[in-house]
Amino acid sequence: MKRSVVSPVLVAFFSVVAGGWLLQEGVSRANEVYVHARVLQEVVDRVFSSFVDEVDRDLLYNSAIEGLIRELGDPHSSFLPASEYENLRIRTEGEYGGVGLEVVDRGGYVTVVSPIPGGPGNRIGIRAGDQFYEIAGVAADTMFTDQAVELLRGRPGTDVTVRMLRPGLEDPIEFTITREEIVLRAVPFSVILDDQVGYVPLTSFRETSATELRTAIDSLREEGMRSLVLDLRGNPGGLLDQGIEVTDLFLSEGQNIVETRGRDASQNELYAAENPDQYPEMPLVILVDEGSASAAEIIAGALQDHDRAILVGETTFGKGSVQSLYRLTGGDVLRLTTAKWYTPVGRSIHSDQDSGLASSVQSEGEWAYAITGQMVEPVSIEGRPEFLSAGGRTLYGGGGITPDVHEYPETLGLVESGGVLRLFQRGGGFSEALFDYAVGYVADRPNIEVGFSLTNEDIQAFYSILEEAAGVVDSKEFQAAERFVRYHMEREIALQAWGAGGEFHQLQSHDRQLSRALGLLREVQTPAELVTAALEVKPDEIPDWQN
């Protein structure tokens, strides 16, 4: 029966195509745009008029367009119907509420690159690497980023329920997020650490990022800072011009920052520093990880290429492409990747997921959970193309920016990870319990100071609150995850008591990447000495997380 329904459609289709060939006899279809457009028109018309079920003509065209874009294999290109684009424009230019998550298409799912620190998604427990399975009751496994963002945004104060896939868990986790206006400082705090080393986290690239960073650095220099750690971990990027302005602070006039290259010559552009290095004698270490993307990678790549900074941490995300918007007939919009970003020595920032160089989770043991709860994957430099920095150091391409000194964060063992996975299955219940406990803890201890320690009684008190918020929790699994639980209890208490700066100080002892950066800077006086010190660091072996 299936053959009897389909055959007439196929016969009609091939008749139309054959007719097209006869009419264009002697003309190469490959060079005749008209023929291709006509065939598409005829197919749509025939399906619309003769298919066994009634179909929507507009839907047929949109499906054809989306299929075409999907064939490009580029998660950043998409088609926006006029209604969706206008909705997005109004929400972007006016007041809107969001969930505070930076997302991209990866591995067939809309994936969280980085939760904005302190944002609603971050507070409820959504983590980098989580993938959207469902948004507001709508299946998300076939969505593009723009479609997901459209559902996630809304009026501040309203809720959106999502279901997320998380590595290591078979079933999706459900979270209910209350939307908020997302307005955060690019530099939440700055501080001088041991041996006159300054520390500045740069969390995003918005209109004031370069100004905020320069103000923070100048203030620390007045306090005696002689070297700097710039933390770009978890920075999802943002405005290109701000990434260039930040890089310009540390390069000499005329030094290249980033180049865009496209098939169309109009997309080719070279950006260079326009001012002298503002801090020429100041050694600089930049912290990066898999959540460092886009403009953050431009900074890291340029300063590494010019031997102006040493990178410590993990290979960055690899979002290095340029999207252009094209208005179409009827008000629809095509967002198309038209160029890619290259570092000054010619490394492509963009990570090609089909190249085999991008990391992928194949089996348990090839990844681990950091104590922060983020998934950590080792990325090998094997097979990556090699480049030389301005000073002759070997650098690696292949997508993302590979650090000079690989340093993995503090990770959990196999048994610990099992306990943490069970907590993750509680969805937002774990984070809600953390918040409730921290608020009460701070209220009962108004004189608490940074460096506080939790007692076993404190852990048990939180266990009781967790059971109330998330249901019965197996005590053995909870004990297995105790190191993770204790870390996050301290983190939430410090955040509630003193904000982002206090949270940083409380957790500093767990930060292996920062510790490595401080160790390098304590031994040097100039940027050149820092580069030499980094070259002497023994390469970090890919860790075994089965233990």
Per-residue pLDDT of 103-155, as tens digits, reads 877 777 898 877 877 789 988 989 877 899 999 999 998 888 878 988 998 88
Catalytic residue among 231, 248, 305, 307: 305
Q: For residue 318, what are the CA distances in angstroms to 72, 384, 397, 461, 504?
A: 18, 14, 10, 42, 27
Please say which residue of 395, 410, 425 terminates a domain: 410
Domain end marker among 116, 149, 178: 178
Same domain, 227 and 367: yes
The answer to whether residue 474 is domain-embedded is: yes
State yes or no: is 324 an active-site residue: no
Give the per-residue pLDDT at 19. 45
Q: Which residues touch 217 (CB under 8 Å, ≥6 apart)? A: 190, 198, 200, 225, 228, 249, 279
Residue 319 annotated as catalytic: yes
> Residue 35 has what pLDDT?
82
Catalytic residue among 319, 348, 431, 511: 319
CB 541 within 8 Å of CB 305? no
Q: Please tell me which residue in 78, 190, 294, 321 is annotated as part of the active site.
A: 294
**Maximum C-alpha span of the chain:** 88
Do both 385 and 313 map to the same domain?
yes
**85-91: long-range contacts at Cβ-Cβ below 8 A with a sequence spacing of 24 or more?**
85/331, 85/332, 85/333, 86/331, 87/150, 88/146, 88/149, 88/150, 91/153
Least confident of 18-27, 87-96, 228-237: 18-27
Q: What are the beta bridge partners of residue 131? A: 111, 165
Q: Are residues 95 and 218 in the same domain?
A: no
Q: Which domain covers residue 22, as residue numbers?
A: 2-55
CATH number of domain containing 218: 3.90.226.10
Dump pLDDT digits (tens) for 345-388.
999 999 875 444 444 334 445 778 899 988 888 888 889 999 99
* Closest C-alpha to 272, from 306, 238, 296, 239: 306
Task: Determine the pLDDT at residue 344.
Answer: 98
- Please indicate, yes or no, whether residues 371 and 232 belong to a single structural domain of this protein: yes
What residues form DSSP beta bridges with 326? 334
204 is catalytic: no
Reading the block at residue 202, the tokens are: 């740069």
391 and 248 both lie in a single domain: yes
Residues 114 and 216 in one domain: no
- Residue 251 maps to a domain: yes
If asked whether residues 463 and 418 sit together in one domain, one would say yes
Averaged pLDDT, 385-392: 97
Residue with tokens 């078979």: 170
